[in-house]
Amino acid sequence: MDRRYRVMIIDDEESARKLLRGSIKWDALNMEVVGEAASGIEAINVIDDLKPDIAFVDISMPFMDGIEFTQTATDRYPNLIIIIMTAIDQFEYARKCVSMPVFEYMLKPMVRAEITKVLERAAERLSNEKDYWDDQKNSGSAENSGEEDPIEQIKKYVEVNFTDSKLNLAFISQYFGFSSSYLSRKFKQDTGCNFIEYLTDLRMKKAIKLAKTNMKMFRTAAEVGIPDPNYFGRCFKKYAGMSYSDFMAANTDDKDNKES
């Protein structure tokens, strides 16, 4: 049986989330709502656990709006289908500002029949991506007999270029001639970790070294290829177990103690 597609609803209005969740016959579309979030920041914090295929995103939210969320989310998950929800007075703003690969813009209040049509198209795209991956896997086109394993080639390339902020799964997939969905699965299968984990680990090891030199966080973030200091801060804290400033303070204390 085909995998059920996972849907996430991101809107700061609880009533809007409940309405969307309750108005669509998700089972009939072979979909399920796996989670909700009241802001872009909350969504970013849980997206790795929820692993949605489709995200409904309100454009106007506090702290991190729909545009900022879309920029961050599609960088990490290039195949995530984003459906922007916007009020009529924000519609032109959405069209002008969102240059990322947004699947559809929908005006609030949304109509059930229109939502269903958009979801049917989304399911078709997801199905086509799965077929493309299966074709590659079955034909063995991702394997180059007689040459170095492609995943090893990719790892070496990333080790040299990880400080480039343009480096992400979509870039690597295009550079090496794979679909993003195929490479994501193949990388996890061969290495035991997903691509973003591997890339982030390299960046955080470099960040630790720079933090020990008392380099300011915004400079370190740029040096390791994560120009967004907020996202960098979350990555660093997850990796080091403390904030960047706390790590620098602790390192300075240790250094002072040794010198004394």
Domains identified in the chain, total number:
2
Here the tokens at position 20 are: 């969307």
Let me know if residue 155 belongs to a domain: yes
Contact 48, 75 (CB under 8 A): no
Tell me how far apart the alpha carbons of residues 112 and 129 are, in angstroms, rounded to a whole number: 26
Per-residue pLDDT of 19-44, as tens digits, reads 999 999 999 999 999 999 998 888 98
Whether residues 227 and 109 fall in one domain: no
Q: Which of 83, 103, 133 is the last residue of a domain?
A: 133
Q: Quick check: is 138 in a domain? A: no
Residue 243: inside a domain: yes
Instruction: Confirm if 93 and 67 have CB atoms less than 8 A apart.
Output: no
Q: How confident is the model at residue 143 (pLDDT cuts 50, 70, 90)?
A: very low
Q: Which CATH number do you get for residue 179? A: 1.10.10.60
Residue 140 lies in a domain: no
Which CATH number characterizes residue 93's domain? 3.40.50.2300
Q: Which helix (H) or strand (E) holds 207?
A: helix 195-211
Out of 86-90, 150-154, 180-184, 216-220, least confident range: 86-90
pLDDT confidence of 147, banded at 50, 70, 90? low
Q: Which of 133, 168, 201 is the last residue of a domain?
A: 133
Dihedrals phi, psi of 5, to nearest 5 degrees: -80, 140
Confidence of residue 73 (pLDDT cuts 50, 70, 90): confident
Rounded to the nearest 10 degrees, what angle do helices 195-211 and 244-259 cross at?
Answer: 40
| Residue with more model confidence, 65 or 97 | 65
Q: What is the mean pLDDT of residues 50-64?
A: 89
What pLDDT is recorded for position 100? 60
Residue 145 lies in a domain: no
Determine the structural domain holding residue 235 and report its residue range: 150-259
Is residue 201 over pLDDT 70? yes
Residues 88 and 17 in one domain: yes
